[in-house]
Amino acid sequence: MKKVKLSFAALAVLALVSCGDKKEAEPFGKATEEPVATETTTETVSEPVTESNPLADQGKEIFEGKGTCVSCHQPSTKVIGPSLKDISATYKAKDASIVTFLKGEADPLVDPTQFEVMKANFAITKQMTDEELQSLEAYIKSF
Ligand code: HEC
Residue-level pLDDT at 20 = 47
Most confident of 1-10, 18-27, 132-141: 132-141
Phi-psi bin for 63: left (phi > 0), alpha (psi -120 to 50), beta?
alpha
Q: Which residue has the higher pLDDT, 38 or 123?
A: 123
Closest atom of ligand 1 to 111 CA is: 17
Residue-level pLDDT at 15 = 45
Provide the residue type at 86 as one letter: D
Residue of 66, 72, 79 best suited for mutating to test ligand 1, as the one with most atoms within 8 Å of CB:
72
Mean pLDDT of all residues belonging to the chain: 81
Q: What is the pLDDT of residues 61-115, one digit of tens each?
A: 999 999 999 999 999 999 999 999 999 999 999 999 999 999 999 999 999 999 9
Q: What are the domain boundaries of the chain?
A: 2-49, 53-141
Distance 33 CA to ligand 1 centre (A): 55
Residue-level pLDDT at 127 = 98
Whole-model pTM: value is 0.73
Q: What is the pLDDT of residues 27-70, one digit of tens each?
A: 555 555 555 554 555 555 555 555 689 999 999 999 999 999 99
Residue 8, pLDDT above cutoff 80: no
- Count other Cβ atoms within 10 Å, centred on residue 140: 22
Residue-level pLDDT at 31 = 53
Residue 131: name the closest of 30, 40, 61, 71 by CA: 61
CATH no. of 53-141: 1.10.760.10
Distance 118 CA to ligand 1 centre (A): 4
Q: In whole angstroms, give the CA distance from residue 125 to residue 47.
A: 33
Residue 140: name the closest of 79, 73, 81 by CA: 73
Q: Which residue is closest in CA terms to ligand 1's atom 5?
A: 69
Q: Which residue is closest in CA terms to ligand 1's atom 3?
A: 72
